[in-house]
Amino acid sequence: MFNWMKTAILMAGIMALFGAVGMVIGGKQGMLLALGFGLISNFFAYWFSDKMVLRMYNAKEVDETSAPQFYRMVADLARRAELPMPRVYLIQEDAPNAFATGRNPQNAAVAATTGILRVLNERELRGVMAHELAHVKHRDILLSTISATMAGAISALANFALFFGGRDSEGRPANPIASIAVALLAPIAAMLIQMAISRAREFEADRLGAEISGDPAALASALDKISRFANGRVPLETAERHPETAQMMIMNPLSGGGLRGLFSTHPDTAERIRRLMAMAGASVVA
């Protein structure tokens, strides 16, 4: 229920941004047109954002025939988590990473890069996929996927404002400073809305993922390995082109700082590992 409320607030905030940008573009009429576009965008984001993100990453669906070991691993973890079997995808990228998407557990999908299958051993990969299924069980996936697609739409609309803002009688920008400000600030505002996605969700997904897999130390080891490839050492090219999708990943894949830093919704990796190792120690003691 809480994630549904956060999703509603997110979509309302995005509608307000659309209205503000529309006002700069064309006054009241522009605001109404932008709000209409925002309503349509929200509709498509709710129903089709998962497909849009998967297509963005050129993800290919696999099954028990095309990727038997990986598919059966996900199926086993889904049974342990008491979840419907999600669709399973592979992404041809060297950077090790993974994410989950979909409207709800009945319409969920999990995706992993081919790089993560090469870098991690079986125990570690189980931990990662259990983490992604934890996001499905917590119903984080709708919020994160909608925020990714709508932030991109806001950025595009703001750039439109820069070039097609209102004109005076002589054809000059009626308010060039406002147009430039909206073009710069609207994407930042969209990013800040994304940051409403709590970093605590990653800690919770780590905790539940460790319970699902029954191996907190393996997930900790996986995070340690993935972190060595993060921050641009092995870039995830699609995420670099579409940084609004970075918050969906198990590990922040973006290189560099600047505006990209605003997309960082992941907690400190060392703290995630520390908590998982504490769980592993507690299970040994028990």
**What does the pLDDT read at residue 243?**
78
β 87-91/108-113 pair status: parallel
Please identify which of the residues 124, 132, 202, 244 carries the catalytic annotation.
132
Task: Give the CA distances from residue 209 to residues 137, 206, 233, 270, in Å, rounded to whole numbers and listed in that order.
Answer: 10, 5, 26, 17
Q: What is the pLDDT along the chain (286 residues), one digit of tens a residue?
A: 556 676 677 677 777 777 877 777 677 887 888 788 777 777 777 788 889 899 999 999 999 999 999 999 999 999 999 999 999 999 999 999 999 999 899 999 999 999 999 999 999 999 999 999 999 999 888 877 777 777 767 766 666 666 655 555 555 555 565 666 666 666 666 665 666 566 788 999 999 999 999 999 999 999 999 998 875 578 888 888 887 788 889 998 887 655 555 555 688 899 999 999 999 987 654 4
**What does the pLDDT read at residue 87?**
98
| Rounded CA separation 36/174 (Å) | 23
State the sign of the Cα–Cα–Cα–Cα dihedral 206, 208, 210, 212.
Answer: negative
**What does the pLDDT read at residue 286?**
45
Active site residue 132: yes
**What does the pLDDT read at residue 197?**
62
Confidence (pTM): 0.81
**What does the pLDDT read at residue 285?**
41
